[in-house]
Amino acid sequence: MKIGIIGAGNIGGNLTRRLTALGHDVSVANSRGPETLTALAEETGATPVPVQEVARNAEVVVITIPVKAIPNLPAGVLDGAAESVAVIDTGNYYPQQRDGRIAAIEDEGLAESAWTAREIGHTVVKAFNGTYAQDILDRPRPAGDPDRQAVPVAGDDEAAKAKVRALIDELGFDTVDTGTLADSWRQQPGTPVYGLRDGIDGVANALAEASPERPSDFRG
């Protein structure tokens, strides 16, 4: 597939490494410009591009940048993407640690990825937000392996969610459907599933145990 990745930090960089190794055509962009991505491109074979071009013809776009940077994405950042593009949001809202207070999340009670979807004008699939970046490289397992780790996935577009779940399976992880974006609070920071290394049953149980009340450490 043609895949665009916005963000080349720990998650974005390791997804670039894995997806190119699987044979996908990956373009990668960051806020500092394609000239700063030369080393990653040489390592992986990915194509560094400006953010405005990263979604061109892409079937999947991964947004993996700080939540506070979402409003700074160029208008029309998804222009030129495939009509059925699936947009993956890996982001987490850290009001005290990094992002500052976002009223729509705090006061309106929007799930973090629902806010991101509203900001970019396109629905998203929330995935990999609670996954350790190094696990993307170190913990893939074949289907059926008893040690295979599961990733919670939430989204409103069932076709996009199915595409993302198939890609995650190809990456070597199982998935558990969290529900809609309105339900995606179950996998936000401070919930039982956040950072959990477990299989399908453990992840499903952790999702079921989540509380909708935002922990104090993750309130602005």
| pLDDT of amino acid 141 | 98
| pLDDT of amino acid 172 | 98
Average per-residue pLDDT for the chain: 97
The pLDDT of 161-170, averaged and rounded, is 98
Given the structure tokens 């935002």, which residue do they identify?
A: 214
| pLDDT of amino acid 202 | 98
The pLDDT of 11-20, averaged and rounded, is 98
d(C-alpha 42, C-alpha 158), whole Å: 35
pLDDT category at 111 given cuts 50, 70, 90 is very high
The pLDDT of 168-186, averaged and rounded, is 98
> How distant, in Å, are the alpha carbons of 20, 48, 49, 51, 123 from that of 35?
19, 8, 9, 12, 30
pLDDT category at 14 given cuts 50, 70, 90 is very high
pLDDT category at 121 given cuts 50, 70, 90 is very high
| pLDDT of amino acid 97 | 95
State pTM to two decimals. 0.97
Q: What is the pLDDT of residues 134-150, one digit of tens each?
A: 999 999 999 999 999 99
Question: If phi over 0 gives left and psi between -120 and 50 gives alpha, with beta otherwise, what is residue 80?
Answer: left
Q: What is the pLDDT of residues 79-103, one digit of tens each?
A: 999 999 999 999 999 999 999 999 9
Computed from CA positions of residues 87, 180, 84, 159, in that sequence, does the dihedral angle turn out positive or negative? positive
Work out the number of other CB atoms within 10 angstroms of the CB of residue 187. 30
Q: What is the pLDDT of residues 54-87, one digit of tens each?
A: 999 999 999 999 999 999 999 999 999 999 999 9
The pLDDT of 9-18, averaged and rounded, is 98
Provide the pairing of β-strand 125-126 with 150-155: antiparallel
